[in-house]
């Protein structure tokens, strides 16, 4: 696994926002192959050239902030006109932070 390329502070912020429900991600899709393009519209509307430029195939964690959601939804999921992505190493590091946040909150409860 490659070393994370996103700064730890940014990964921690994403983890915190994911835990707080401020972020929707591809991991929340029940059927990612069909639902991700419906949730993250730029992927559905992109040309093959754009997808290659964005290196979508290298992104492991796609997400967007809920305040960026469009006023419509599909199958109970938000729809976004934009998205962010993390490569696998960055996403796994962020999910480690997410798990630590979850554990800490559960201990307090």
Q: Is the pTM of this model over 0.85?
A: yes
HEC per residue, 8-25: HHHHHHHHHHHHCCCEEE
| pLDDT attached to residue 53 | 85
Residue 78 has pLDDT above 60, yes or no: yes
Q: Which residue has the higher pLDDT, 3 or 10?
A: 10
Residues 47-74 have pLDDT tens digits of: 999 888 888 889 999 999 999 999 999 9
Hey, where are the domains in the chain?
8-108
Where do the DSSP E strands lie in 1-109? 23-25, 59-65, 69-74, 77-80, 84-87
Separation of alpha carbons 58 and 27, rounded Å: 15
* Per-residue pLDDT tens digits for 45-54: 999 998 888 8
Q: 1 pLDDT exceeds 80? A: no
């Amino acid at each position: 696994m490659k070393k994370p390329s996103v700064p730890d502070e940014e990964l921690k912020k994403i983890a915190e926002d994911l835990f707080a429900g401020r972020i929707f991600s591809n991991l929340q899709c029940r059927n990612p192959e069909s639902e991700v393009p419906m949730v993250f519209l730029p992927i559905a509307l992109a040309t093959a050239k754009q997808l290659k430029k964005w290196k979508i195939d290298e992104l492991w964690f796609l997400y967007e902030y809920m305040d960026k959601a469009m006023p419509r939804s599909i199958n109970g999921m938000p729809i976004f006109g934009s998205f962010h992505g993390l490569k696998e190493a960055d996403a796994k590091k962020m999910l480690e932070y997410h798990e630590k946040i979850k554990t800490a909150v559960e201990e307090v409860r």
